[in-house]
Amino acid sequence: MRMMNLKNTLMVAAAVSLVGCAGGDNPGREYAPNMYHSVAYEPLSQITDEQAGAWANALDNGRGEYFNSNKYNPYRMNMREPAPNTVKRNKYGWLPYRSKNVPKDSIDIVIKGMTSPLEENPVYVTEGKALYEVYCKHCHGVKGMADGKVSDKYPGVANLKGDSYLAMSEAHIFHVITYGAGLMGAHGSQVSPEDRWRIARYVKDLQKQK
């Protein structure tokens, strides 16, 4: 009788320890598996096997935890591919900016004929000012005359009220914000096209201020 109990105890201990190392992709028992396994839909990587990760599923939907594809889309992708030969537009219907990044003295050639899509409205100046204060002021300064903190230490920041800049168009400024120019770095990845046009509107306004 005593022997029997010992044997049972050993068997239970062995079973418990085996459950803990299930091997392969299966790390064994998990507490609250939904917290470890993201149910987010990946746009590109599809797991089409409905049973993948079934061992970890705490939901009652009969599907594995890792299943994440959409049977209505081509290749069961979650993301839809754009229709062939189409070009994305933003919510205003604008096409992507296509002028190339060129040396400073050629900017006016690539922006020839380009004008701001923003209509005349003082609100764009106000909004542009707020954006200028975030993205430009530390170098170009409150006055736009290279009076920013950065230009105290690093010479070479353009004085936007300098004679050679007074005639530059909003399109020129838009281009410079997008790609940078000379010493100035590009801001295109941080500032959306509509915000770049707002800033350009404000810079033109700033140039008129004393």
Token digits of residue 185: 């770095």
Q: How far apart are CA 137 and CA 135, in angstroms?
A: 6
Q: Which of 56, 107, 171, 206 binds ligand HEC (CB under 6 A)?
A: 107
The verdict on 187 binding ligand HEC (CB under 6 A) reads yes
| Residue matched to tokens 């106000």 | 126
Q: Is 13 exposed, middle or buried (0-12, 13-18, 19+ CB in 10 A)?
A: exposed
176, two tokens: 């410079």
| Gap between the Cα atoms of 25 and 41, Å rounded | 20
Q: Taking CB positions, which residue lies at the least distance from ligand HEC?
A: 182
- Please identify, using beta-carbon distances, which residue of 56 and 200 lies nearer to ligand HEC: 200
Q: Which stretch binds ligand HEC (CB under 6 A): 4-12, 31-39, 68-76, 134-142?
A: 134-142
Contacts of 54 (CB under 8 A, 6+ apart): 63, 64, 65
Candidate list 56, 111, 171, 173; residue touching ligand HEC; CB under 6 A: 173
Q: 156 CB contacts (<8 Å, ≥6 apart)?
A: 183
We find the least distance from the C-beta atom of residue 46 to ligand HEC, in angstroms, to be 40
171: contact with ligand HEC by CB under 6 A: no
Does 104 sit near ligand HEC (CB under 6 A)? yes
Pick the piece of the chain touching ligand HEC (CB under 6 A) from 48-56, 57-65, 92-100, 136-144. 136-144
**Nearer residue to ligand HEC within complex by CB, 68 or 178:** 178
Which of 43, 62, 162, 182 is in the footprint of ligand HEC by CB under 6 A? 182
The answer to whether residues 20 and 29 touch, using CB atoms and an 8 Å cutoff, is yes
The single residue listed with the structure tokens 């838009």 is 174
Least Å distance between CB 34 and ligand HEC? Answer: 43
Residue closer to ligand HEC by CB (options 56, 139) is: 139
d(CA 73, CA 80): 7
**Which of 28/182 has CB closer to ligand HEC?**
182
First to last CA, the chain: 102
206 binds ligand HEC (CB under 6 A): no
Where along the sequence are the contacts to ligand HEC (CB under 6 A)? 104, 107, 135-136, 138-140, 150, 156-158, 160, 173, 176-177, 181-184, 187, 199, 203
